Chain A
Amino acid sequence: MGNLLTIRDLRLEAGDRRDPVVILKGINLDLDRGEVLGLVGESGAGKSSAGLAAMGFARDGVRFAGGSVTFDDTELLGLSRGELRKLHGKRIAYVAQSAAASFNPSMKLIDQYSEAPRLHGVASRAEAEKDAIALYRQMQLPDPEEIGFRYPHQVSGGQLQRAMTAMAMACRPDLIIFDEPTTALDVTTQIEVLGAIRDIVDQYDTAAIYITHDLAVVSQMADRICVMKDGEEVETATTREMLDNPQQDYTRSLWAVRSFRRPAEETKASETLIRGQGVTAGYGKATVLHDLDFTIPRGRTTAVVGESGSGKSTLARVLAGLLPPEAGEILWRDAPLEPRLEKRDARTLRNIQMIYQSADTSLNPRHTIRETLSRPVTKFTGRRGRKLRARVAELMELVDLDPAFLDRKPGELSGGQKQRVGIARALAAEPEFIVCDEVTSALDQLVAEGILKLLVRLQHDLGLTFLFITHDLATVEAIAHKVIVLKNGRIVEQDDRDAIFGDPQETYTKRLLESVPQMDPDWLTAARERERELRRREAS
């Protein structure tokens, strides 16, 4: 048997023994030496648990309820902690989602790198150091000689993720588990990390399990893909087969998400609702937004895109009145908009609403949904008693939620449902303009698609104007009319969606667009080639 890893009928449970929560309902996986298997699924599908189980490890409170995990002819289930420890780090390594949270902040990178080789007696400290520098160079980290002697906080997120991959390679393991290693990164950084991971895995012929919810990413990395749902395997096939010809309905629905586009409608020019002139804003001495001139057309969706730190959310805060600009002016229908929230009149407050990224923190956990929705209705429209109850029920229907949820608290709702309540709360004020701050980034793709469809429908029915802040360009392409590209607090480009996506003028916009992973296994290779080309042209 050439199989490196064989998982048979693996079952995982948590909670009470008599009434357990089943996490994995008997999954089967096979992995050859040097093969990369992608595990795909929505949150709660059991991907991470399956990944950890491949190491013979279960999280606290989770236990193996049956099945077997055979790694190189050794049965891992039932091994003592000591025996597992000999394998972990040496022959099986793990790369976590957030490198920033997984490194020990008080130790230099290279000290953490050399721990495993020394512990397993693979290399001495000096050898490990030399090896680390060689790997850092292969991972294309800047300053490979020197970067290891920095502390984690002195290194950027994308570099940390590469350093962690290098660390996982330290003992040249046979198997590495990657748990969403690029989910927290910007697209332009993600492409570098993906490329580096793929090169190094290829070079050392390491087998890997690559866990992600992003189908485009997994299609770059994996030889085979396994789709999971609710702790069960839905479908497994080679990457190309899976992309070209998915067998199961569920897989097809996952694949279809990315093809969502707002229905074609007349694109006649619309009047301007909001105009920013020379808007400059910041926190204390740090200026975040530099002299922005922009327009937001009425009844349309304007998307603001950019990497983290580009000032997208700051712009939202300025419009909402939470952060008065230091200079410049914002006009609302050609009349100046009061910069300070405290001084805005009720009509202005009512007209500008926000929907937040995290549904968990945007709803007060101690209020029922009814309380959450009733307050803005009463405050802005003065409805009370029966009229109030009718309006609240109507709002629930507007966002496709069962009015029976009204007496629940946010903790009893799912992420997508909570986000719908957040939308209903914004609608309660009957506003003209809604700022949507990364409203779909925390959601699974199927759920996110539902939210996007809802927003598009609401815009059509109610004539709302949206400012859609996001780093996800696929979403932008799906729903935006107009796009503003921000970088380091300056506007790089603003134009209609078709102009931006069809014929970007600026190098940065091109780079941003090309960094968005496509559902094509050859995309990464091609994109890196184009990136090198761009760099070469910039250099000359």
Chain B
Amino acid sequence: MVKLLKSAPPTAIAGMIVLFAVLLTGILAPLVSPYGETQVVGGAYQPWSRAHPLGTDNLGRDMLSRMIYGARNTVGLALLTTGIAFSVGAFLGMFAALRSGWLDEVLSRMVDVLMAVPPLILALMLLAIVGPSIPNMVGVIAVIYVAPVYRLARAAAMNVVGLDFVEAARLRGEGTFRLLRREILPNIGSTLIAEFGVRFCFVFLFIAALSFLGIGIQPPTADWGSMVKENATLITFGDITPLIPAGAIALLTIAINLIVDWMLHRASGLKS
């Protein structure tokens, strides 16, 4: 593990430092934030000061504290959502590749239908049906992102299921789950991990976008997307405060992409 980190290029290390810092802040939010998440501590739109380093928001809540809690909510939910999408998508994709035949056809056509609708519109539609709440949002985004993960996992697994060692395991009479877990998954793992990083960014931006539109994470819960929306009017007065949550979104996205680039590079190197 240490050896692996030493071989990482500086860009990937920078990415990892940012990601680690954000995760740590999120986990330790109640300890490091000066005020509570929804605590009203003063007037609305107060400028930056010693007491409130980033000022206050439209309801007079401390911006810095909300940034810190926002890391916890946005990143945590994005991780959860991506995790669900990956478990389901990767399993179904590998399963379809291994079984092939009609099951593969049915699953693939269902996924095609899912991918035919633009994701944002699909999300708006589904959330309008089930009503905006955090579990619903997680569920809807996970369903949407199952589709690309399924496709990737199926394509990657297709390359592996034809290989002789899978056939050898089948001749041994191994069950489907063992084939998936022991023979196929380890060989497409690096591809999936790299994709996880990319998808995590998308999901994270998607949550931020939905929150900005007002159907994602609901007030008063702090998250970076809705913080941009709530304080957007400040821009017209030349105050850069709303750009700070936006910048945090950008920073985390870039950091993850740097790590993913490195992983993709390693994965492709291993193949040759």
Contacts and interface: CB of A to CB of B under 8 A. Distances in A.
B164 A356 contact: yes
Contacts of A352: 171
A322 B167 contact: yes
A330 to B, nearest CB: 16
B171 A362 contact: no
B5 interface: no
A429 B163 CA distance: 20
Interface in B149-186: 163-165, 167-174, 182-183, 186
Main secondary structure of the interface of B (DSSP, over half): helix
Contacts, number: 51
A366 B160 CA distance: 12
A315 to B, nearest CB: 15
Contact of A341 (B163, B171, B187): B171
Contacts of A363: 165
Given A366-B186, A366-B187, A354 B168 contact: yes
Interface in B168-215: 168-174, 182-183, 186-187, 189
Contacts of B167: 322, 354, 356
Interface residues of B, number: 16
Contact of B187 (A322, A349, A365): A365
Given A364-B183, A364-B187, A366-B187, A358 B173 contact: no
- Interface size bracket, A side: 20 to 34
Interface in A330-379: 341, 344, 346, 349, 352-354, 356-358, 361-367, 375-376, 379
B185 to A, nearest CB: 9
A379 B182 CA distance: 14
A425 B187 contact: no
Nearest to B189: A366
A356 B168 contact: yes
A76 interface: no
A361 B168 CA distance: 10
A320 interface: yes
Contacts of A341: 170-171, 173
Contacts of B165: 361-364
B164 A322 contact: no
Contact of A425 (B163, B168, B170, B186): B168
24 contacts: A320-B171, A322-B167, A341-B171, A341-B173, A344-B173, A346-B173, A349-B171, A349-B172, A352-B171, A354-B171, A356-B167, A356-B168, A357-B164, A358-B164, A361-B164, A364-B187, A365-B187, A367-B182, A367-B186, A376-B172, A379-B173, A380-B172, A425-B168, A429-B172
Interface of B: 163-165, 167-174, 182-183, 186-187, 189
